[in-house]
Amino acid sequence: MAFSRELIRQEKHDLHFVSSGPTLHTDLLAGAKVISRMEIAYAGIETVGSAPNIRRRVEEGRLLIEDYTNLAMAMRLYGGALGVPFMPIKSILGSDLETKTTFRSAKEKLALVECPFTRELVCLVPSINPDFGVIQAQRVDTEGNVQIDDAPASDVDGLKASDVKIVLAEEIVSPAVIRRDPKKTAVPGLMVDYIVHAPWGAWPTAMYNCYDYDHEHIKYYANKCETEEGWEQYKREWVDIGEEALMEKIAQKMKTLKARKGLGY
């Protein structure tokens, strides 16, 4: 969320966005017209419904979306992390995703082939190597070693697959802290290019063991952004002001959202 807000402040435009199942931050980027193309499996606001800015930009023709399944996108990122050109799956077989495309040609999107071992039909999806990969994690040490307390989903593979790897973290710690529980280290520091100290950087979404979702604000956002005028007002009040001013604005709410260590909520 913090990285997306900063992209908006810097007035970035026409980016090509890739993810498995992005939520609120993608709607921010769509609202500000930072992204013009997406390859995704899902984009919405969990617990609330559809993403209003994404829907509006698609209807306007300002945002093109190439659809895949969640597994397909996860495997494409995994393939990119492994350094192989494609990955085999079955979840697309028999669906409209076999033939329907938006900005990719049918040959670029996937390939249906016969397995040389079993002779069964499989779908090959192209691996992805994004220019930039960005994640928010619980902690990173000064050498770039990243630790994630909860399920990493496809975040780790997406980061490893990217040419430039950027990690935002709730806290930056010493290498000694990482060594105390090395099994939580998801990405080694030798792979990471940039680390950013960004406490509460996932707000108003959650960070396990750090803070809970701000459901009240997320609902407010979704309702506000039903109109273009509402989005512009939200942007002025909650994005353009900068992260420091934003943190001051939610200081009281932080007390109720902060998690109890070990419980995760």
Q: What is the pLDDT of residues 165-205, one digit of tens each?
A: 999 999 999 999 999 999 999 999 999 999 999 999 999 99
Cα(210)–Cα(261) distance, integer angstroms = 7
**CA pair distance 186, 15, nearest whole angstrom:** 27
pLDDT tops 80 at residue 263: no
Give the span between the Cα atoms of 3 and 124, in whole angstroms: 32
Other C-beta atoms within 10 Å of 262: how many?
6
Peptide bond into 88 cis (omega under 30): no
Q: How many CB atoms lie within 10 A of CB 50?
A: 11
* Residue 150 clears pLDDT 80, i.e. is over it: yes
pLDDT tens for 68-111 read 999 999 999 999 999 999 999 998 999 999 999 999 999 999 99
Local confidence band at 153 (pLDDT 50, 70, 90 cut-offs): confident
Distance CA 65, CA 40 (A): 7
Q: Strand pairing partners for 33?
A: none
State the DSSP H helix or E strand holding residue 220, giving kind and residue range, or none if neither.
helix 215-224
Is 0.85 surpassed by the pTM of this model? Answer: yes
What is the predicted pLDDT for the residue at 265?
A: 67
Q: What is the pLDDT of residues 4-24, one digit of tens each?
A: 999 999 999 999 999 998 999
Indicate the DSSP class of residue 207: B
Instruction: Report domain extents, the chain.
Output: 86-126
pLDDT surpassing 70 at residue 264: no
**Quick check: 136 and 130 in contact, CB under 8 A?**
no
Q: With bands split at pLDDT 50, 70 and 90, how would you rate the model's confidence at 215? A: very high
Share of the chain above pLDDT 70, in %: 99
Helices and strands (DSSP H and E) totals, the chain: 11, 13
Residue 162: its pLDDT value, please? 98
The pLDDT of residue 231: 98
For residue 149, pLDDT over 70 is answered with: yes
**Six-digit token string for 222:** 């979704």
Among 244, 247, 236, smallest CA distance to 31 is for: 236
Higher confidence at residue 76 or residue 48? Answer: 76
